[in-house]
Amino acid sequence: AQKITQTQPGMFVQEKEAVTLDCTYDTSDPSYGLFWYKQPSSGEMIFLIYQGSYDQQNATEGRYSLNFQKARKSANLVISASQLGDSAMYFCAMREMSANAGKSTFGDGTTLTVKP
Amino acid sequence: DGGITQSPKYLFRKEGQNVTLSCEQNLNHDAMYWYRQDPGQGLRLIYYSQIVNDFQKGDIAEGYSVSREKKESFPLTVTSAQKNPTAFYLCASSIVGVPNTEAFFGQGTRLTVV
């Protein structure tokens, strides 16, 4: 079964508007971390934001926030005030405490295009 | 500055040749990973290693081999048995046992079979 599901292959947003990228996950491990990465066309993976399974508050990092709904097993990324430089592929990932060697499981990604 | 260095950035391979992709980290991370990414797709785990001289197969290990002789280094060899090796390869490292730490990635190697 897919552990990380990103149901939006592609998304468009107007510059300066907010956009939500969806991510649902599946795990039976009570201790896990959820991550979002940005991959521009150059290929490098840029870490954006982290949410721990025991965190009471939603994570925020600048224009990025994570809408964490534990009961629904969702961890959606919200980007506020979109910029042209936000156009990239975005990956949701999960690390379970029980995972061998701390390996992460990645979703298939969402390609975000910001329109001027 | 600490980080992960992958080389080369671009690599061309002839049919039937083995090629080795380099990955070096100076973050003192125990765990290292190799991922394959096809155009427009997600990351698929090839091999991973938690300690020196030990490594495990990921989801798509066939046609690949690795070694971990030093903590800092985790080279990936794409063998002639890999039928469709053209892809983007990413190396990553992380701390083990602390789930709130992110993986650090190299810049990637784009391999093309010619």
Q: Identify the CA nearest to A6 among candidates A30, A19, A25, A29.
A: A25
Average pLDDT over residues A22-37: 94
The reported pLDDT for the residue numbered A23 is 98
- As to burial, measured by CB atoms within 10 angstroms (0-12 exposed, 13-18 middle, 19+ buried), residue A84 is exposed
The reported pLDDT for the residue numbered B16 is 86
The reported pLDDT for the residue numbered B1 is 66
- CA of B80 vs chain A CAs: smallest distance (Å): 25
**Cβ neighbours of B59 (radius 10 Å):** 11
Q: Could you say which of A31, A43, A111 has the minimum Cβ distance to residue B99?
A: A31
The reported pLDDT for the residue numbered A2 is 65
Q: Which amino acid is at A55?
A: D
The string of DSSP codes covering A18-87 is -EEE--EE----SSEEEEEEEE-TT---EEEEEEETT-SS--EETTEEEEEETTTTEEEEEE-S--GGG-
Encoded tokens for A8:
């939006």
Per residue of chain B (114 residues), give pLDDT as tens.
Answer: 679 999 999 999 888 899 999 999 999 999 999 999 998 889 999 999 999 999 999 999 999 999 999 999 999 999 988 889 999 999 999 988 776 788 899 999 999 988
The reported pLDDT for the residue numbered B99 is 67
Which residues of chain A neighbour B56 with C-beta distances below 8 Å? 100-101
The reported pLDDT for the residue numbered A5 is 96
Which residues of chain A neighbour B42 with C-beta distances below 8 Å? 91, 106-109
Asked if pLDDT for residue A1 goes beyond 70, the answer is no
Interchain CB distance below 8 Å, A102 and B105: no
- CA of A54 vs chain B CAs: smallest distance (Å): 10
Interchain CB distance below 8 Å, A102 and B41: no
pLDDT confidence tier of residue A96, bands split at 50, 70 and 90: confident
